[in-house]
């Protein structure tokens, strides 16, 4: 199995397995039960319950905040909470750690179903559409409008991903982007210009071949693996000019001819270098200091801006560059972005105080308090990135500069199913189990069928 197809780092995707699909089914069943539960609640409960219970010390309103931050991320979240409490002395934030995994999703859903959810929670924007469609999130549209919070403060894709069916259900805060990393010393070694990285798919193929060193069926060094790290079909499908969703019809278009073309290219690449040999290389790849790009075993890869921090930590002298993901034409460069948001779960007891917290983080003051602790991360507010000097670093500048041209995953009730189906289609096709067209037709049919239920 391809290691890189099984895990989705940093952006909220989860392990693609039968257990995930089973979990998704259970989640939907649970949320259907939630709908019945909420229908029996009073109007006041359904809209947020007690709006200002004085449960904190000194008569303060206490809001419960579930998060999954650790390490430096926790330091940043603590800085945000401290800054908020200083500017809102009548509100106390009780932070509760919930590990960011499938279990945390189930725990949150159970709390909503049971009528005792936290007031605020961090939430992957990728899941907003699915949960909003089932009635598990508080509609923030009117509160945002009343306080002048609108799309023009954020990157368009982040606002869109936090919305569903024309309504706002989350306040976005983090974002990322994906580019092609390349080892400049390797380029020099094989006669490639390190200041002129590949722009077209053809140039990428030529560079990969020159950079690859293979002894028998073993790679001493491999130039490139299309599906490694963040080389998901989303990355390549959009770079080839394809689309995964038709907004006007409300249908998934995973079998768009350009997406099929992208997957066919990935399949052909695998055949050229022997997909089994590539798989052997991947299975032995490590992480952190043993990441094959950091250790010099991989010359190029598609990855996100968070990897810059890892390189600085584990190999600060690595001579590397980043450039937009190559396209067939060498023009129309794009990327895609994930990220997190703050939500108020349906049934939260202190909606008004919770909204004050979301509103604060959704503004420049809260965002600066948080991101001043995270030098390699980006806010969804362009003005904040500019004020914090994210574009002063020549590497980070490349990631920030492409954000206005970024895509987001379709905001649909079956977003997780689409993710799973695309990963399965990629793995099957690259393994020779069906053609790209057959696999993507199957994926499209499966998701559209689920959307109609």
Domain that holds residue 434: 178-336+414-452
> Based on the domain organization, do 325 and 250 belong to the same domain?
yes
Q: Which residue has the tokens 């400049």?
A: 184
Residue 353: φ, ψ to 5°: -65, -40
Question: What domain count does the chain have?
Answer: 2
Confidence of residue 28 (pLDDT cuts 50, 70, 90): very low
Residue 37: per-residue pLDDT: 41
**Assigned domain for 2 exists:** no
Domain match, 34 and 152 both: yes
155/258 same-domain check = no
- Residue 6 inside a domain? The answer is no
Asked whether residue 8 is domain-assigned, the answer is: no
142: in domain: yes
What was the pLDDT predicted at 57? 64
Does residue 19 carry a pLDDT above 60?
Answer: no
Q: What is the pLDDT of residues 59-91, one digit of tens each?
A: 899 999 999 999 889 999 999 999 999 999 999
Asked whether residue 3 carries a pLDDT value surpassing 50, the answer given is: no
Total-model pTM: 0.83
Q: Residues 381, 175: contact at Cβ < 8 Å?
A: no
For residue 293, what is the domain's CATH number?
3.40.190.10
pLDDT value of residue 100: 67
Surface-to-core class of residue 109, CB atoms within 10 Å of its CB (0-12 exposed, 13-18 middle, 19+ buried): buried
Same domain, 290 and 344: no
What is the mean pLDDT of the segment spanning 276-301? 93
Q: Given its phi and psi angles, is residue 117 left (phi above 0), alpha (psi -120 to 50 degrees) or beta?
A: beta
Mean pLDDT rounded to a whole number for the chain: 88
Answer yes or no: do 213 and 242 share one domain. Answer: yes
Q: Are 238 and 261 in contact (CB under 8 A)?
A: no
* 391 and 439 assigned to the same domain: no
Q: Are 67 and 121 in contact (CB under 8 A)?
A: yes
* Pair (161, 297) in one structural domain: no
Looking at the structure, tell me whether residues 332 and 344 fall in a common domain: no
| Residue 146, burial from CB neighbour count under 10 angstroms (0-12, 13-18, 19+) | exposed
Q: What is the pLDDT of residues 293-336, one digit of tens each?
A: 999 999 999 999 999 988 998 999 999 999 999 999 999 999 99
**pLDDT at site 55:** 52
Residue 346 lies in a domain: yes
Q: How confident is the model at residue 56 (pLDDT cuts 50, 70, 90)?
A: low
- pLDDT tens across 85-140, in order? 999 999 999 999 997 666 778 899 999 999 999 999 999 998 999 999 999 999 99
pLDDT at 25 over 90: no
């Amino acid at each position: 199995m391809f290691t890189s197809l099984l895990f989705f780092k940093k952006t909220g995707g989860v392990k693609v397995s039968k257990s995930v699909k089973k979990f998704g089914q259970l989640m939907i069943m649970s949320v259907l039960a939630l709908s019945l539960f909420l229908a029996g609640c009073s109007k006041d409960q359904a809209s947020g319950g007690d709006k200002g219970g004085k449960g904190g010390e000194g008569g303060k309103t206490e809001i419960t905040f579930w998060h999954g931050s650790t390490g430096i991320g926790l330091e940043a979240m603590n800085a945000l909470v401290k800054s908020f409490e200083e500017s809102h002395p009548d509100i106390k934030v009780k932070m509760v750690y919930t590990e960011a995994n499938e279990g945390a999703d189930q725990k949150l859903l159970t709390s909503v179903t049971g009528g005792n959810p936290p007031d605020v929670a961090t939430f992957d924007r990728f899941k907003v559409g699915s949960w909003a469609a089932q009635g598990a999130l508080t509609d923030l549209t009117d509160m945002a409008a009343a306080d002048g919070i609108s799309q023009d403060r954020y990157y368009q894709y982040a606002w869109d991903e936090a919305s569903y069916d024309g309504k706002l259900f989350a306040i976005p805060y983090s974002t990322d982007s994906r580019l092609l990393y390349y080892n400049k010393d390797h380029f020099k070694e094989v006669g490639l210009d390190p200041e002129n990285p590949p722009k077209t798919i053809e140039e990428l193929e030529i560079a990969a071949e020159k950079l690859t060193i293979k002894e028998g069926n073993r790679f001493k060094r491999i130039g490139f693996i299309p599906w490694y790290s963040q080389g998901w079909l989303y990355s390549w499908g959009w770079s080839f000019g394809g689309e995964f969703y038709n907004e006007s019809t409300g249908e998934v278009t995973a079998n768009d001819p350009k997406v099929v073309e992208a997957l066919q290219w990935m399949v052909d690449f695998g055949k050229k270098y022997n997909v089994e040999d590539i798989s052997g290389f991947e299975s032995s790849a490590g992480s952190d200091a043993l990441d094959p790009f950091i250790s010099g075993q991989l010359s190029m890869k598609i990855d996100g801006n968070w990897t810059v921090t890892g390189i600085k930590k584990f190999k600060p002298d690595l001579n590397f560059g980043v450039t937009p993901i190559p396209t067939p034409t060498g023009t129309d460069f794009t990327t895609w972005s994930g990220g997190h948001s703050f939500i108020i779960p349906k049934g939260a007891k202190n909606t008004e105080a919770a909204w004050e917290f979301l509103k604060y983080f959704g503004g420049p003051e809260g965002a600066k308090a948080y991101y001043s602790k995270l030098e390699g991360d980006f806010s969804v507010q362009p003005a904040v990135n500019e004020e914090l000097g994210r574009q002063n670093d020549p590497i980070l500048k490349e990631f920030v500069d492409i954000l206005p041209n970024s895509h987001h995953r379709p905001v649909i009730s079956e977003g997780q199913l689409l993710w799973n189906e695309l990963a399965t289609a990629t793995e099957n096709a690259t393994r020779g189990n069906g053609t790209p067209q057959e696999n993507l037709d199957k994926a499209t049919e499966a998701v559209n069928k689920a959307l109609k239920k």
